[in-house]
Amino acid sequence: MQPEQADFHAQLIAGLKVQDDAHLADMLDQVPAADIAESFELLQDEDRSRILFSVKPHTAAEIVVLLDEAVRGEVVDEMDTESLTEIVSELEPDDAADVLGELPEQEADEILSELDEEESRKIEELLEYDQSTAGGIMTPDVVAVPSSATVADAVEFVRDATPDEELHEIYIVDENRKLIGTVPLRHLVVNPPTTKLLDIVDSDTVIVNANDDQEAVVQIIRKYDASEAAVVDDENHLLGRITHDDLLDVADEEAEEDLLRMAGTDAAELDTSSVFQAARIRLTWLLPCMFGMLLTATVLLLSENNFNPKIFAILAAFAPMLGAMGGNAGIQISTIIIRGFATGDIGSAKLGRALMREGSIALAMAPVCGLLAWGIVSVAVPILVTSDILPASDAAAIARAVGLAMPLAIMGAGMLGILLPFMFRRLGVDPAIASGPLVTTTNDIVSVSIYMLTATVIV
């Protein structure tokens, strides 16, 4: 929380205690809705209701839109259908669809039936798109102007448009509402009123299909440094546009999903306020890891008979080191590859280059780690274990085993780090999982197996 926000929050808490509703409303009128929304997470249900009730309906609607999803869920759950209807009627269709999409279907239908017909039709259309597609994040509010129009005509269209979403481009369509191109607002300002729009149209507009995945939309916007994208259907009919604030939200969302997957949890965790629900989601990732590590234990237990008990005890003490180094080296590689998928830097055409690079880096790191591991174990074992228990020749053999297994484990885990993200992507599974605990576990099993095999041969 920034200092100004903390100040405001303290002031809000004081206001809620001592002021009556009218004074509270006056105070809240002076602050941006974003500041109020930011404070909501820390407030009790009754204070939230009181605030939403005190401010103007339009401000209440703004606050609801700006809330984090989990907090919004709590707030919406507390409201009766009537208050919700009032708020939804103040919202832009895309925001209204977001709120209604989270309600039980019956309540959503009830609210829709209370809205005016055109508004509710727009919202219903948006609700039909998957939330993670271009259609799911677009707003249908575009200024669409016929191709025969002049600058003067376009100015009239702009005048009539709802001013809530920021307006940067007007869209030129033909008689069937098929998209021809866009005209930046700037051109309306500097060109004479009689100019034909077709003479100043920009046909390089970034266009996406309503069914395109939101991640692909962000990638294309990023590629062309555009500020908004037109959304069309399969026949190029203009359906809406995606604005910069939604793009930033989507970029955040995608980055966050990857981050959480890597940590072995899920974006769903952030949408819930239930501790048990969150624990359940995290256990989904932790428990398979426990079963995986049972395999590591099995590999160790089955190798035990190949060694005398003293030597096995020392080898086993270094097993976590081998597992961790293999696991970390694999994660480094898979993260770089997953990031390349997300930014579009690694596509099928750039596959070979990525493999070469990652393979070379692993090859460069492996001998360094091997030499160092050999050195560490050579020094540590004679210090930790007295020589009357373990002859120096055995200690040296153990050091050689660790020193040789280390580069092999790094190369093995490195290969997994390269292959698993591609495999997951091919299978249609989010490749970010390939940097999560499941794959650390796989790397652990592989590294420890390589270690035990090497030790069996050498010691």
Binding mask 80-119 for its own copies (x = CB under 8 A): ----------------------------------------
* Tokens standing for residue 243: 């604005």
Residue choice 285, 374, 422, 424 for contact with its own copies (CB under 8 A): 285
Give the footprint of its own copies on residues 302-361 (CB under 8 A).
302, 304, 309-310, 312-314, 316-321, 323-325, 328-329, 331-332, 334-336, 339, 343-345, 347-350, 353, 357, 360-361
| CA neighbor of 93 nearest in space, from 57, 133, 162, 140 | 140
Q: Taking CB under 8 A as the rule, does residue 276 contact its own copies?
A: yes
Instruction: For the CB of residue 58, give the shortest distance to its own copies in the complex, in Å.
Output: 15
Torsion angle in degrees (nearest 10) through CA of 56, 61, 63, 66: -160
Task: State the DSSP string of 364-411.
Answer: HHHHHHHHHHHHHHHHHHHHHS-TTTS-HHHHHHHHHHHHHHHHHHHH
Q: Taking CB under 8 A as the rule, does residue 372 contact its own copies?
A: yes
Q: Would you say 210 and 133 are in contact if contact means Cβ atoms under 8 Å apart?
A: yes
* Choice between 298 and 456, CB closer to its own copies: 298
Q: Taking CB under 8 A as the rule, does residue 202 contact its own copies?
A: no
* Tokens standing for residue 200: 């100043």
Residue in the structure block whose two tokens are 């780690």: 369
Q: Tell me the window of 85-93, 115-123, 229-237, 432-440 that interacts with its own copies (CB under 8 A).
A: 432-440
Instruction: For the CB of residue 282, give the shortest distance to its own copies in the complex, in Å.
Output: 5
Instruction: For the CB of residue 188, give the shortest distance to its own copies in the complex, in Å.
Output: 5
- How many C-alpha atoms does 286 have within 13 Å on its Cβ side? 6
Q: Which residues, in sequence order, are CB contacts of 255 under 8 Å at separation 6+?
A: 342
Give the footprint of its own copies on residues 208-237 (CB under 8 A).
216, 218-227
Residue choice 190, 192, 194, 235 for contact with its own copies (CB under 8 A): 190
Q: Would you say 182 and 205 are in contact if contact means Cβ atoms under 8 Å apart?
A: yes
Instruction: For the CB of residue 63, give the shortest distance to its own copies in the complex, in Å.
Output: 12
Residue choice 36, 67, 238, 260 for contact with its own copies (CB under 8 A): 260
Runs of H (alpha helix) within 57-184: 57-66, 69-78, 81-90, 93-101, 105-114, 117-127, 134-137, 151-160
Instruction: For the CB of residue 365, give the shortest distance to its own copies in the complex, in Å.
Output: 5
Instruction: For the CB of residue 74, give the shortest distance to its own copies in the complex, in Å.
Output: 13
Runs of H (alpha helix) within 139-227: 151-160, 185-190, 197-200, 214-224
Instruction: For the CB of residue 83, give the shortest distance to its own copies in the complex, in Å.
Output: 23
* Choice between 52 and 206, CB closer to its own copies: 206
Give the footprint of its own copies on residues 3-62 (CB under 8 A).
5-6, 9, 32, 34, 38, 41-42
Residue in the structure block whose two tokens are 């360094």: 368
Extract long-range pairs of 379-387: CB within 8 Å, 24+ residues apart: 381/314, 385/314
Q: Tell me the window of 1-9, 117-125, 129-137, 421-429 that interacts with its own copies (CB under 8 A).
A: 1-9
Residue choice 11, 45, 202, 287 for contact with its own copies (CB under 8 A): 287
* Tokens standing for residue 246: 């939604």
Give the footprint of its own copies on residues 151-170 (CB under 8 A).
155, 158-159, 163, 166-168
Q: Tell me the window of 78-86, 122-130, 260-268, 421-429 that interacts with its own copies (CB under 8 A).
A: 260-268
Rounded to whole angstroms, the Cα distance separating 51 from 84 reads: 14
